[in-house]
Structure 1
């Protein structure tokens, strides 16, 4: 099985806030998106870029995955953002408004020209109507190693803006778009994290949306405040009962008498071999989180 990297909680941190970048070293998020785009005013772009890249180079973030979000390709800041990010060598670079696989190919060519370290991955923001309509081809770009594609990040605020969809409990207007992106990501073996929840005071609503995202198949959720991290970490992690059940399924299929069976009975339920494969992933995720 491919090594699993937990991405339960993916916290945006404004690159223009030096104090926030420092405090992020103590936040229990699985990943940090050090943001040069939406959270940074135009007159602070260069300062933010310098601070973010210095923070990544300095390290001290432990096992947290570090991701730099650049400004968009069509902005005057993009070229400098990409060059600085490549030099800083984060775990990944997040590209806004990826609406076609050609964008990813372009980014890959630019990174090759910058002699960017091969281990730097690309995360793609899925936040436009065109991105949803072309999600399968965008995900398929992972087959071109030049693109470095590793993860989709849903930009639900931008999707709402572009489509005029309303934010309602349960997200009914967005469910087809979310499911389309999940199917595309899973078809080509890349991770996908859910969009942000905007109401910081609505803890019940946030928990419900995390649970919905988990049940839809997301790997985790993007966050806008450190206070959301603990809930996301708990919801997107297998609990003790789930882990115990998964280990029991694996153990049952490992028994010699079940070696050639496609399905068995376990605790009064019919369990197929595909459930054993699912169980292995649950256990691997639990172990990765524990580590």
Structure 2
């Protein structure tokens, strides 16, 4: 299993696989990642057609461009297994599993990918969107430390969490915040990325930008989006500040000095700086496309 890449995932846009016009616009979009959606955004009558359009889209991708992820239907559904097999053969960057509730759900998909010569860098992402998933999130996230597993990212499914729990969806998300913070905490324990849930109102971009800022401050790496208009505010909110980049570069340069090569702790601008801060700096710089390499 290869080491997971560190890459920007500030803006992660869902695009219905059945919508040819939307798929055709992807190369012109400034989002970091596109989720080609076979699940919620596709009506039952269009599932098979959507699957074929997903194949064509992934096959036609060129060099560069956004990270490509395919969201399959739940493996317990009538479409899930065929979706997973089709996505495995299409070879996107990752496959997003919806309705994940236990670690076993991820491992079963992992086993399907391991049955063939699916490339080692075909990752799995997990939607956390049910009460049972929240209760089992520690075990799910722990797979991120398992070199035999492909889990790379947790995605908050806020709409389904609201539906399944009955909490009130207030503008400030006050009743969701404890669960969102739990997703971030679990992701960090597992060495995974964490993505905030969607905001359904895409007309009020000021409110959306504020929600992105709150997600950033909670520790999320980026936000899932439902409309291209949301890409700009998400990229702005989740981009490292100029000050943070400058500090990270200074930490990298300080530890690169010959006299600090064997040091675990150094003094920089009157502050104690440890190698854990260097790790954090390198991660930030990689997400700002300033990394020495793109692995961690």
Q: Normalization by structure 1: what TM-score?
A: 0.91
- 1:109-144 deviation digits (Å, cap 9, x = unpaired): 222335433321111101111111111100112344
- Given that 2:137 and 2:183 are in contact with CA atoms closer than 8 Å, whether structure 1 keeps it comes out as yes
Change (3 A) 1:111 1:258: closer
- Given that 1:258 and 1:264 are in contact with CA atoms closer than 8 Å, whether structure 2 keeps it comes out as no
Q: Matched residues in 2 for 1:279 and 1:96: separation?
A: 32
Q: How many residues align?
A: 288
- Given that 2:254 and 2:268 are in contact with CA atoms closer than 8 Å, whether structure 1 keeps it comes out as no
1:1-291 mapped onto 2 (5 Å cutoff): 3-60=5-62, 62-252=64-254, 260=263, 262=265, 264=267, 266=269, 270-273=271-274, 274-288=276-290
My pick for the range that moved more, 18-27 or 232-241, is 232-241
Q: Matched residues in 2 for 1:77 and 1:261: separation?
A: 52
- Given that 1:91 and 1:120 are in contact with CA atoms closer than 8 Å, whether structure 2 keeps it comes out as yes
SS in 1 for 2:289: helix
SS in 2 for 1:47: helix
Q: Matched residues in 2 for 1:286 and 1:53: separation?
A: 31
Change (3 A) 1:195 1:262: same
Q: Matched residues in 1 for 2:63 and 2:228: separation?
A: 15
Q: Normalization by structure 2: what TM-score?
A: 0.89
Q: Matched residues in 1 for 2:33 and 2:162: separation?
A: 25
SS in 2 for 1:150: strand
Which consecutive aligned stretches of 4+ in structure 1 deviate over 6 angstroms post-superposition?
A: 256-259
SS in 2 for 1:62: coil
CA RMSD of aligned residues (A): 2.3
- 1:145-202 deviation digits (Å, cap 9, x = unpaired): 4431111111011001111112223322111111111111111211111110111122
Structure 2 stretches lacking a partner, 5+ long: none
Q: Matched residues in 2 for 1:223 and 1:154: separation?
A: 12
